[in-house]
């Protein structure tokens, strides 16, 4: 990796990393004219993620591919060195069209069979790049991004079949694939601790969060839900054990927040929480699924964003809120301190009373919201997808 340049703006966690660690953090793309006359190195992006209902890791893959493609397309010398091709199964075409990038439909098969059989067999000598935790496990010429090893840290959050598959494929990929990418120093350490992959094979590429600026805020959602600006706390609606929404439900049942509203966005409904045995206070509002524009409006108009997760490989939701200037309160767990830095407030993940007090302090002015907002924005502004894509390209060129 001698040809890579570093702009010096490293995250503090990276400075303390062991010597054996080789992250490509905050790099600028190297210029190189020596590749003139040679064919560009081919990398095939595993586009299976476009065939399934989008979740957080799909957002990461989408933004990395989109920004990496833009960087290559805008730099002729870089295009001579690297070719990044998006391959998809036939059932991914509708989302691939929305992505707006060139793609190739490769058959036969779909689903897991496409990823494990069709893709590696058709890829020839090109390197297969998978960005959503899973890649073709039997192929050696591959690069795979493992966002976390949550299936080991919070097994109750996943189905038994999901746990079995991840516990099988992650160590295989970690052993066989040329490089393992991950999204935080925390995830890197967990991957090493779980013996999924050795330290020298892992590169950390922090996520961006500026995608939240791409869509205009759709304020109609506020009218539909009868919400006034600054009148509510926003959080994710999820029954996954590690998302720890129970602590917020207990906090909003306390006297200091009984007249405040907790808004939970996402597909998990009140009925599902009740069926799962949770006591849901009457001051909790469920939005259901929302569009990106509606979510931006909810972020921007919230008094505060709450994220009590007990473990995260990175933690995009609080950073999305922070990028829009909304203060975030998070648990000091997983990669959240690394990702959010001094831009967020931290409250113990198992203390509903402390969560109620911290949220109430924002409402009643005990904490200066304008200062919290400025700190949030300053931290989130450092994490861009352009930077992440540059680091991805540098990593691939360094193989």
The domains of the chain are located at 5-208+384-397, 211-380
Tens-place pLDDT, residues 355-366: 999 999 999 998
pTM to 2 decimal places: 0.89
- The least confident of 54-58, 101-105, 193-197 is 54-58
Q: What is the mean pLDDT of residues 326-332?
A: 98
For residue 25, name the pLDDT band (cuts at 50, 70, 90). Answer: very low
> What is the structure's pLDDT at 154?
86
Q: Indicate if the pLDDT at residue 91 is higher than 70.
A: yes
Q: Indicate if the pLDDT at residue 8 is higher than 50.
A: no
For residue 21, name the pLDDT band (cuts at 50, 70, 90). Answer: very low
Q: Are strands 202-204 and 82-88 parallel, antiparallel or unpaired?
A: unpaired
> What is the structure's pLDDT at 17?
31
Q: What is the mean pLDDT of residues 106-129?
A: 97
- The least confident of 23-32, 39-48, 132-141 is 23-32
Q: What is the mean pLDDT of residues 207-231?
A: 98
What is the share, in percent, of the chain residues with pLDDT greater than 70? 91
> Between residues 317 and 27, which one has the greater pLDDT?
317
Instruction: Identify the CATH number of the domain defined by range 211-380.
Output: 3.40.50.2000
Tens-place pLDDT, residues 44-86: 999 999 999 888 999 999 999 999 999 999 999 999 999 999 9
The CATH class given to the 5-208+384-397 domain equals alpha beta
Tens-place pLDDT, residues 343-399: 999 999 999 999 999 999 999 998 999 999 999 999 999 999 999 999 999 999 999
What are the C-alpha distances in Å from 394 to residues 72, 337, 388? 12, 26, 10
> What is the structure's pLDDT at 138?
93
| Per-residue three-class SS string for the chain | CCCCEECCCCCHHHHCCCCCCCCCCCEECCCCCCCCCCCCEEEEEEHHHHHCCCCHHHHHHHHHHHHHHHHHHCCHHHHCCEEEEEEECHHHHHHHHHHCCCCEECCCCCHHHHHHHHHHHHCCCCEEEECCCCCCCCCCCEEEECCCCHHHHCHHHCCHHHHHHHHHHHHHHHHHCCEEEECCHHHHHHHHHCCCCCHHHEEECCCCCHHHHCCCCCCHHHHHCCCCCCCEEEEECCCCHHHCCHHHHHHCCCHHHCCCEEEEEECCCHHHHHHCCCCCCCCEEECECCCHHHHHHHHHHCCEEEECCCCCCCCHHHHHHHHCCCCEEECCCCCHHHHHHHHCEECCCCCHHHHHHHHHHHHHCCCCHHHHHHHHHHHHCCCCHHHHHHHHHHHHHCC
Tens-place pLDDT, residues 224-275: 999 999 999 999 999 999 999 999 999 999 999 999 999 999 999 999 999 9
* Summary mean pLDDT of the chain: 91
> What is the structure's pLDDT at 39?
86
> What is the structure's pLDDT at 13?
34
> Measured between alpha carbons, how far is 295 from 312 in angstroms, rounded to an integer?
21
> What is the structure's pLDDT at 153?
83
CA 294 from centre of chain: 19
> What is the structure's pLDDT at 37?
56
Judge if 5-208+384-397 and 211-380 fold alike in CATH terms: yes
């Amino acid at each position: 990796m001698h040809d890579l340049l570093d702009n010096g703006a490293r995250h503090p966690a990276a400075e303390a990393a062991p010597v054996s660690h080789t992250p490509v953090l905050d790099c600028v793309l190297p210029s190189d004219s020596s590749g003139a006359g040679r064919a560009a190195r081919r990398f095939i992006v595993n586009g299976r993620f476009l065939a399934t209902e989008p979740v957080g890791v799909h957002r990461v893959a989408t933004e990395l591919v989109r920004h990496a493609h833009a960087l290559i397309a805008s730099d002729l010398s870089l295009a001579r060195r690297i070719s990044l091709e998006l391959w998809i199964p036939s059932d991914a075409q509708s989302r691939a069209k929305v992505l707006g990038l060139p793609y190739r439909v490769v058959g036969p098969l779909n689903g897991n069979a496409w990823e494990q059989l069709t893709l590696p067999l058709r890829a020839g000598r090109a390197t297969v790049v998978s960005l959503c935790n899973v890649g073709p496990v039997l192929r050696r010429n591959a690069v795979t991004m493992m966002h976390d090893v949550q299936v080991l840290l919070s097994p109750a959050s996943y189905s038994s079949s999901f746990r079995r598959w991840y516990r099988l494929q992650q160590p295989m990929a970690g052993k066989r694939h040329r490089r393992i990418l991950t999204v935080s120093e925390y995830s890197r350490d967990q991957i090493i601790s779980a013996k999924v992959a050795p330290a020298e094979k892992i590169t950390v590429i922090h996520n961006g969060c500026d995608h939240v600026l791409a869509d205009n805020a759709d304020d109609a959602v506020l009218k539909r839900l009868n919400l006034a600006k600054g009148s509510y706390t926003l959080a994710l609606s999820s029954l996954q054990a590690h998302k720890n929404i129970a602590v917020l439900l207990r906090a909003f049942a306390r006297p200091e927040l009984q007249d405040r509203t907790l808004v939970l966005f996402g597909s998990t409904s009140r009925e599902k929480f009740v069926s799962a045995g949770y006591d849901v206070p009457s001051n909790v509002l469920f939005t259901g699924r929302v569009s990106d524009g509606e979510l931006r409006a909810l972020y921007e108009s919230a008094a505060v964003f709450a994220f009590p997760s007990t473990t995260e490989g990175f933690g995009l939701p609080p950073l999305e809120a922070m990028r829009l200037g909304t203060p975030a309160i998070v648990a000091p767990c997983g990669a959240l301190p690394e990702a959010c830095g001094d831009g967020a407030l931290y409250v113990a993940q198992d203390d509903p009373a402390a969560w109620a007090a911290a949220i109430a302090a924002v409402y009643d002015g005990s904490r200066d919201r304008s200062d919290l907002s400025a700190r949030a924005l300053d931290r989130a502004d450092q994490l861009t997808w352009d930077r992440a894509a540059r680091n991805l390209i540098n990593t691939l060129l360094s193989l």
